[in-house]
Structure 1
Amino acid sequence: MSNPQQQFSAGQARGVGVAQADKWVGSETNSLQAHRSDAAQSVEETKEQAAGLLQQTGEQVKQMARGAVETVKNTLGVGDHNNSSRS
């Protein structure tokens, strides 16, 4: 059997170890939360950029389609400038 001094020292060492482990876990938890927050921010920014790019591309496609329709109308003689010259 160990004497009371050895038991005290062992208990003290255990207590210090537990306190250090708790401190480390708390520090790691805070670090992980910060990384998670940064990652969420990055994802949100990426989603916003993608949405902006899709909107811009959609506008370009609409303009190209309008141009194609006007070209076809003009080729067939039903474009706006042809209608106004017939009046």
Structure 2
Amino acid sequence: MSSAQFNAGQSHGQAEAKTQEWIDSAKSTANAAHDKACDAAGKTQDQAQRSKDEAAGFLQQTGDKMAHMAQGAIDGVKNTLGMSDKK
């Protein structure tokens, strides 16, 4: 084997090794990005659930207040018309 062939073979081997390093690096970067995206999605989902729960609680409280106000208005009208249970 000539020196030129040896050098060509050596260069080819080094190029393959470098290519594999780049592939491994790209895979590692992609996996890290995937993990970060999954983590962010999980945090977003958790926050959305908390917001949903808070909104449901707020709406429940508002509904309860409206029901009490309506009952108070009904009682007031009944009292005015003399129809209340309290005599």
TM-score over 0.5 for the pair: yes
Q: 2:71 aligns with which of 41, 46, 66?
A: 66
Deviation (angstroms), 1:8: 0.9
Residue identity in the other structure for 1:35: A
Residue identity in the other structure for 1:50: A
Q: Which residue of 2 aligns with 1:76?
A: 81
Quick check: 62-71 or 1-10, which moved more? 1-10
CA distance in 2 between counterparts of 1:57 and 1:29 reads 42
Using structure 1 for the length normalisation, give the TM-score. 0.89
CA distance in 1 between counterparts of 2:34 and 2:51 reads 26
CA distance in 2 between counterparts of 1:6 and 1:34 reads 42
Q: 1:43 aligns with which of 42, 48, 51?
A: 48
Percent identity reads 28
Q: Per the alignment, in what secondary structure is the counterpart of residue 3 of structure 1?
A: helix
Q: Gapped runs of 5+ residues in structure 1?
A: 83-87
Deviation (angstroms), 1:81: 1.6
Matched, 1:11 2:16: yes
Deviation (angstroms), 1:37: 0.5
Deviation (angstroms), 1:44: 0.5
Runs of 4+ in 1 over 3 A off after TM superposition: none
Q: Gapped runs of 5+ residues in structure 2?
A: none
Residue identity in the other structure for 2:75: E
Q: Which residue of 2 aligns with 1:52?
A: 57
1:16-44 deviation digits (Å, cap 9, x = unpaired): 00010011111111111100110110111
Residue identity in the other structure for 2:20: G
